[in-house]
């Protein structure tokens, strides 16, 4: 069963802007849940809407874990699954783009040194494996759901977590960080402790607009901007620009009678994009779709149109970095 909001999304259509711009989408998921399916066919329907997507990076979402494996090794099943999808794409039978050219899986860093065996198993399962994401999104408010990896407060500072984290750099693996904006200072400390590990901040660091942050958009932005300014001084950190129209961000697009236009997305979310690009530079920023999660709020076509409108005055070289080259370099595609 596919997503149930297609009729809602179809209420607004607009022409594709700059259709020749090469795109590497560095953040999407694939899953087959009881309530909805988002696999190769569904993703293809979105990326075939007009933008020139040439490659993508899959990011873990607790999909297709191997129930016959030990608990620690079960997430390797996800890498095996996605590698199969990537092989389908690489056959050329499904189009010219290369889906899941890079794979970011999950390994529990709270295993400490024992996580080494899990990382090696991921690498053995796919030559496309590039790193891990261990989500650490935690908040004391019951209105903010904690991340799917069931983190605890201050996990990025935990000594066992860091012992596991130390296993990444020797293998040339990166770390995708996903949490909520009050935790940005924790990532600053982690980046300082591991300057040789490539860190990618997902979804702007999760600025919240629900629970205790509802109705406080200006205050949240100021706190976020201050902490991002300090994080930007860490050269081993790159940023994914996207994942900003989830319900937790508080914009409420998913509650509207009609979906937003690219102009509306640009107007309401643009400050975050402009600030991140200014602080990190195009060489450390990459636009992302975060589909199908962000599909709750807008279509793939409209989302990427909004990105293109945000940087319409950028140079061709800067656009290439933001839409393709930075992601391709960071994930070694």
Report the percent of the chain where pLDDT is more than 70. Answer: 99
220 domain-assigned: yes
Angle of the 76-90 helix axis to the 115-125 helix axis, nearest 10 = 20
105 domain-assigned: yes
> Does the pTM exceed 0.85?
yes
Domain containing 24 equals 6-330
User: Which residue in 64, 82, 68 sits closest to 130, CA to CA?
Assistant: 82
pLDDT of residue 291: 98
pLDDT of residue 146: 80
pLDDT average, residue stretch 263-290: 98
1 domain-assigned: no
53 domain-assigned: yes
| pLDDT tens digits, one per residue of 239-264 | 999 999 999 999 999 999 999 999 99
Higher-pLDDT residue of 1 and 289 is 289
Assign residue 213 the CATH number of its domain: 3.20.20.140
Q: Identify the band that residue 149 occupies on the pLDDT scale cut at 50, 70 and 90.
A: confident
242 domain-assigned: yes
Q: Identify the band that residue 40 occupies on the pLDDT scale cut at 50, 70 and 90.
A: very high
pLDDT average, residue stretch 326-333: 98
pLDDT average, residue stretch 301-330: 98
205, 228 in Cβ contact below 8 A? yes
109 domain-assigned: yes
198, 330 in Cβ contact below 8 A? yes
84 domain-assigned: yes
107, 166 in Cβ contact below 8 A? no
**Domain count along the chain:** 1
pLDDT average, residue stretch 166-176: 98
Instruction: Measure the CA–CA gap between 296 and 292, rounded to whole angstroms.
Output: 7
Instruction: Measure the CA–CA gap between 127 and 135, rounded to whole angstroms.
Output: 23
pLDDT of residue 3: 64
pLDDT of residue 1: 45
Report the percent of the chain where pLDDT is more than 90. Answer: 92
pLDDT average, residue stretch 317-329: 98
Q: Is 50 exceeded by the pLDDT of residue 318?
A: yes
Q: Identify the band that residue 143 occupies on the pLDDT scale cut at 50, 70 and 90.
A: confident
Q: How far lies 125's CA from each of 59, 63, 71, 81, 271, in Å?
A: 15, 15, 17, 10, 40
CA dihedral 107, 231, 251, 55 (to 10 degrees): -50
| pLDDT tens digits, one per residue of 174-230 | 999 999 999 999 999 999 999 999 999 999 999 999 999 999 999 999 999 999 999
């Amino acid at each position: 069963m596919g997503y149930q909001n297609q009729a809602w999304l179809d209420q607004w259509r607009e022409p594709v802007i700059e259709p020749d711009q090469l795109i590497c989408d560095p953040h999407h998921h694939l899953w087959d849940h009881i309530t909805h399916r988002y696999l190769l066919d569904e993703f293809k329907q979105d990326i075939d809407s007009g933008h020139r997507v040439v490659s993508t990076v899959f990011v873990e979402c607790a999909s297709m874990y191997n129930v016959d494996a030990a608990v620690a090794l079960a997430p390797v099943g996800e890498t095996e699954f996605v590698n199969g999808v990537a092989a389908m794409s690489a056959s050329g039978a499904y189009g010219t783009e290369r889906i899941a050219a890079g794979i970011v899986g999950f390994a529990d860093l709270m295993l400490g040194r024992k996580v080494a065996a899990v990382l090696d198993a991921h690498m053995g399962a796919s030559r496309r494996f590039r790193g891990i994401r261990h989500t650490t999104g935690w908040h004391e408010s019951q209105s903010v759901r904690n991340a799917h990896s069931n983190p605890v407060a201050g996990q990025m500072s935990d000594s066992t977590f860091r012992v596991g984290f130390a296993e990444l750099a020797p293998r040339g693996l990166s770390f995708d960080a996903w949490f909520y904006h009050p935790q940005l200072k924790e990532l600053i400390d982690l980046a300082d402790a591991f300057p040789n590990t490539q860190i990618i901040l997902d979804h702007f660091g999760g600025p919240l607009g629900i629970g205790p942050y509802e109705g406080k958009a200006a205050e949240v932005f100021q706190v976020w901007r201050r902490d991002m300014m300090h994080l930007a001084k860490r050269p081993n950190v790159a940023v994914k620009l996207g994942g900003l129209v989830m319900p937790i961000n508080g914009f409420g697009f998913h509650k509207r009678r009609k979906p937003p236009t690219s102009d509306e997305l640009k107007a309401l979310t643009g400050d975050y994009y402009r600030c991140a690009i200014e602080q990190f530079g195009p060489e450390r920023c990459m636009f992302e779709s975060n589909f199908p999660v962000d599909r709750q709020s807008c279509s793939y076509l409209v989302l990427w149109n909004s990105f293109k409108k945000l940087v319409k005055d950028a140079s061709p070289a800067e656009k290439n970095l933001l839409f393709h080259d930075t992601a391709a370099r960071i994930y070694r595609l």
